[in-house]
Amino acid sequence: MTKWTASDIVDQSGRTFVVTGANSGLGEVAARALAKAGAHVVLACRNTHKGEVVARSIGDNAEVRRLDLSDLASVREFAAGVDSVDVLVNNAGVMAVPQRKTADGFEMQIGTNHLGHFALTGLLLGKITDRVATMSSAAHQAGTIHLDDLNWEHRKYNRWSAYGQSKLANLLFTYELQRRLAAAGSPVTAVAAHPGYASTNLQAHTESVQDKLMAVGNRIFAQSAEMGALPMLFAATAPGVIGGSYIGPDGLFEQRGHPKVVGSNKKSRDEQTAKGLWSLSEDLTGVEYRFG
């Protein structure tokens, strides 16, 4: 059977994609592939200088708009400037950073990876025509949602546990969003993806000796960013992708390979936790979703 690649992306002419974190890494690769397929791509970046460099190299199909997911004021400003979008690609994220807070007082990883994207999706939902694709990670397997201490105010901070919590939140959010969209009879679908072990600059910002260790791992074990972006590109563009799907690599332990539908753990399918996280996320962000 032929393996799906970026060359299999169907014609996206006339369609608009918003890709968060598109100034580097998997987001940049995805933006380039989408633009090559004819889409108009909005590079939603905190670092607009880097974004402009990427956009100029892509050409007329790309534009840059500032978005800082760790600042809800920036999220609201960005969303207000978007008229219509076919596909929202929630790609940006931080990984295993030291303990610090967002502009709104959230723990940085849950604040950026989940709450920022939760707010962005809610603010754009009435303008989205096709689907919401959100990047999770195999690290969701190590995550636990603490609804009574989502922002690590009462526990000793652990950077990797915080990352796992944020990636588990991405899946709980995706599955709950799909349930709510389906219940409302919406044509919009929600899907998720993970890149396996892909070599990107995400592994270079832990501000610890782990940066050097992961740099070695990137050179020896990781697949390319081009391969790592394929599950998200498939989730965002492939016709017939079922809402609530989770797409990852087809290789051993889902670490590398071409896109396929994969499974996620029991915690990610806990509907009570998903509802609790949804309610808490609306309270924390002040963004209330409206369906129908």
Query: Going residue by residue through the chain (292 aa), what tens digit of pLDDT does each one get?
Result: 679 999 999 999 999 999 999 999 999 999 999 999 999 999 999 999 999 999 999 999 999 999 999 999 999 999 999 999 999 999 999 999 999 999 999 999 999 999 999 999 999 999 999 999 999 999 999 999 999 999 999 999 999 999 999 999 999 999 999 999 999 999 999 999 999 999 766 544 455 555 545 454 455 567 999 999 999 999 999 999 999 999 999 999 999 999 999 999 999 999 999 999 999 999 999 999 999 7
Per-residue model confidence (pLDDT) at position 207: 54
Is position 163 within any domain? Answer: yes
**In a domain? residue 1:** no
Domain containing 169 equals 13-283
Show which residues are catalytic. 163
Q: Is residue 245 part of a domain?
A: yes
Q: Is residue 3 part of a domain?
A: no
Our count of domains for the chain comes to 1
- Is 183 inside any structural domain? yes
Residue where the block lists tokens 């994220």: 93
Instruction: Compute the distance between CA of residue 65 and CA of residue 146 in angstroms, rounded to an integer.
Output: 33
Whether 75 is in a domain gets the answer yes
Closest CA to 5 of 229, 194, 242: 229
pLDDT of residue 222: 76
- Tell whether 290 is covered by a domain: no
The reported pLDDT for the residue numbered 209 is: 52
**Which pLDDT score is estimated for 185?**
97
Half-sphere exposure of 135 (CA within 13 A, CB side): 27
The enclosing domain of 127 has a CATH number of: 3.40.50.720
Assess if residue 4 is contained within a domain: no
